[in-house]
């Protein structure tokens, strides 16, 4: 885990998608939140537009203005037939929950309703967006709500809470399995401590005979296939919190805790053979409980992404030789080949110190501050996009970690807070 791999041949990008527009980027970076489309907003590409009805009967449309990374693509929505009536003005913006290739899981919700002193849960709608493919236009499908109670709700005495649909968050991922099948999967742990024993997966299979949520009890294995966690398991008091659900190829889903590790599942296994394998990250976890310590949100300094059909790449931005002063930093990347039953070893790919980056001619004029929000390119896992920003201006940059070249610098002029982004392939 400590030795660096030697530079070799550059990553060979995947072939272009048959029938795709040559002007369409191979991949894009999407913001989490949509913005209302009006005359003051740049025009989105009509080839990405799709519409659907909410569960309350309101029709809305989404579209995207695609941009070549490291630039951020735009995500728009508007109400079909004009602006929403006053009673609907407080609809939350459509929000990206998860992505995989040309598929995007979106959430639309109304705020909580106060009635006779009680606060009712918001109306939650989830939609599956699929980009165009050949003669198939883009589509937006309202998914059925999931009323299977969570583990917490099953122990709750509040009948109203147990009757509300599930909220899909960071613990929910999507996995495209070929052109005709897509899975929406939510992880629910029996314990918030480092996972042991069993977990539950709530699965929706799109493309099958029925569109129905199903609950699966799945065992968790540790170490070399054992369930006692000998040798690889952190102490039981360490608190687990899923930060992201990452699809890899057309088989694997990974639920990542940027402090503790990740849970790997081969979704291609048979219905009764699904297993979650706990895998630690190649960094030392903090000696604190996430439940009690004010630990930071980790998307701004770590990223976990696919690196091909059967491997993942982990990126971490850490202080370098300066104690608690988070000014001089280094970016380190590791790669791991995935397996459900064979030994796995993280391989350190490279380290880029901040002063090495600042010394590059292409970096001239940019602020010498820590990089933020790393994202591995879906087109080349050796390339990583970062946010560079201060109180006045923000830039997006792309760095090739293998040969330490700053490949692109793009000003980010959007009126939005710095945030993490979702990779997607919006072919058309």
Write out pLDDT tens, residues 345-361: 999 999 999 999 999 99
How far apart, in whole angstroms, are the C-alpha atoms of residue 302 and residue 143? 31
Please give the DSSP secondary-structure letter assigned to residue 159.
H
- Percentage of the chain surpassing pLDDT 90? 54
- Tell me, yes or no, whether 253 lies in a domain: yes
Residues in the chain: 428
Beta-strand runs (E) in 42-94: 45-53, 59-65, 74-79
- Percentage of the chain surpassing pLDDT 70? 75
Beta bridge partners of 264: 254, 277
Contact 344, 372 (CB under 8 A): no
* Residue 326 banded pLDDT, cuts 50, 70, 90: low
pLDDT of amino acid 150? 82
Radius of gyration of the chain (CA): 22
How far apart, in whole angstroms, are the C-alpha atoms of residue 375 and residue 387? 9
DSSP assignment of 333-392: EEEEE--SSS----EEEEEEEHHHHHTSGGGTTS-----EEEEE-SS-TTEEEEEEE-SS
How far apart, in whole angstroms, are the C-alpha atoms of residue 314 and residue 348? 9
- Tell me, yes or no, whether 96 lies in a domain: no
Over range 398-417, report the average pLDDT: 90
How far apart, in whole angstroms, are the C-alpha atoms of residue 313 and residue 331? 13
pLDDT digits (tens, 9 = 90+) for 266-308: 999 977 789 999 999 999 876 665 554 555 568 889 999 999 9
Residue 59's CB: how many other CB atoms inside 10 A? Answer: 11
Q: What is the mean pLDDT of the chain?
A: 82
Torsion from C-alpha of 370, 371, 372, 377, nearest 10 degrees: -170
Over range 160-175, report the average pLDDT: 82
- Tell me, yes or no, whether 214 lies in a domain: yes
How far apart, in whole angstroms, are the C-alpha atoms of residue 327 and residue 371? 10
Over range 362-381, report the average pLDDT: 95
- Tell me, yes or no, whether 205 lies in a domain: yes
The angle subtended at Cα 226 by Cα 224 and Cα 230, nearest 5°, is: 80
Residue 237 has pLDDT above 60, yes or no: no
How far apart, in whole angstroms, are the C-alpha atoms of residue 146 and residue 161? 13
Residue 417 has pLDDT above 70, yes or no: no
Over range 9-32, report the average pLDDT: 66
pLDDT of amino acid 330? 94
pLDDT of amino acid 17? 44
Over range 320-346, report the average pLDDT: 84
- Tell me, yes or no, whether 288 lies in a domain: yes
pLDDT digits (tens, 9 = 90+) for 84-115: 655 555 467 899 999 999 999 999 987 655 55
Tell me the CA distances in angstroms from 196 to 42, 48, 270, 342, one per residue in order: 49, 43, 22, 20
* Residue 3 banded pLDDT, cuts 50, 70, 90: very low
Q: Which domain holds residue 282?
A: 146-293
- Tell me, yes or no, whether 153 lies in a domain: yes
How far apart, in whole angstroms, are the C-alpha atoms of residue 78 and residue 54? 13
Token pair for residue 274? 């699904």
At 162, give phi and psi (nearest 5°).
Answer: -70, -15
Over range 391-402, report the average pLDDT: 93
* Residue 10 banded pLDDT, cuts 50, 70, 90: very low
- Tell me, yes or no, whether 298 lies in a domain: no
pLDDT of amino acid 180? 84
Overall number of domains in the chain: 1
- Tell me, yes or no, whether 327 lies in a domain: no
Over range 166-193, report the average pLDDT: 88
């Amino acid at each position: 885990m400590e030795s660096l791999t030697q530079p070799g041949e550059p990553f060979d990008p995947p072939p272009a998608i048959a029938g795709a527009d040559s002007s369409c980027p191979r991949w894009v970076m999407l913001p989490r939140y949509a913005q209302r489309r009006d005359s003051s907003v740049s025009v989105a590409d009509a080839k990405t537009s799709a519409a659907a009805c909410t569960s309350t009967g309101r029709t809305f449309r989404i579209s995207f203005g695609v941009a070549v990374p490291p630039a951020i693509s735009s995500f728009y929505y508007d109400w079909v037939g004009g602006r929403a009536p006053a009673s609907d003005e407080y609809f939350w913006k459509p929000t990206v929950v998860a992505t995989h290739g040309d598929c995007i899981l979106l959430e639309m919700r109304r705020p909580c309703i106060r009635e006779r002193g009680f606060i009712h849960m918001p109306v939650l709608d989830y939609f599956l967006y699929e980009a165009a493919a050949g003669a198939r236009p883009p589509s937006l499908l309202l998914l059925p709500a999931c009323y299977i109670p969570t583990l917490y709700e099953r122990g709750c005495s509040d009948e109203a809470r147990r009757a509300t649909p599930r909220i899909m968050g960071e613990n929910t991922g999507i996995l495209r399995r070929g052109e005709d099948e897509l899975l929406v999967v939510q992880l629910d742990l029996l314990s918030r401590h480092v996972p042991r024993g069993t977990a539950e997966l709530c699965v929706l299979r799109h493309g099958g005979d029925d569109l129905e949520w199903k609950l699966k009890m799945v065992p968790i294995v540790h170490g070399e296939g054992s369930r006692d966690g000998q040798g690889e398991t952190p102490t039981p008091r360490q608190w687990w919190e899923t930060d992201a659900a990452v699809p890899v190829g057309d088989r694997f889903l990974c639920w990542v805790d940027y402090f503790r590790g990740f849970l790997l599942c081969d979704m291609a296994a048979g219905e009764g053979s699904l297993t979650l394998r706990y895998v630690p990250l190649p960094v030392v976890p903090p000696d604190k409980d996430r439940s009690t310590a004010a630990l930071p949100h980790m998307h701004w300094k770590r990223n976990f992404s696919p690196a091909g059909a059967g491997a993942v790449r982990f990126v971490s931005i850490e202080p370098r030789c300066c104690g608690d002063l988070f000014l001089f930093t280094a970016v380190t990347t590791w790669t791991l080949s995935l397996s459900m039953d064979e030994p796995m070893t993280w391989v350190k790919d490279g380290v880029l110190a901040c002063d090495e980056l600042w010394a590059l001619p292409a970096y001239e004029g940019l602020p010498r501050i820590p990089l933020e929000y790393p994202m591995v390119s879906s087109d080349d896992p050796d390339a990583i996009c970062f946010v560079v920003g201060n109180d006045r201006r923000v830039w997006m940059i792309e760095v090739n970690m293998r040969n330490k070249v700053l490949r692109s610098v793009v000003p980010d002029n959007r009126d939005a807070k710095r945030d993490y982004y979702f990779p997607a392939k919006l072919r058309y």
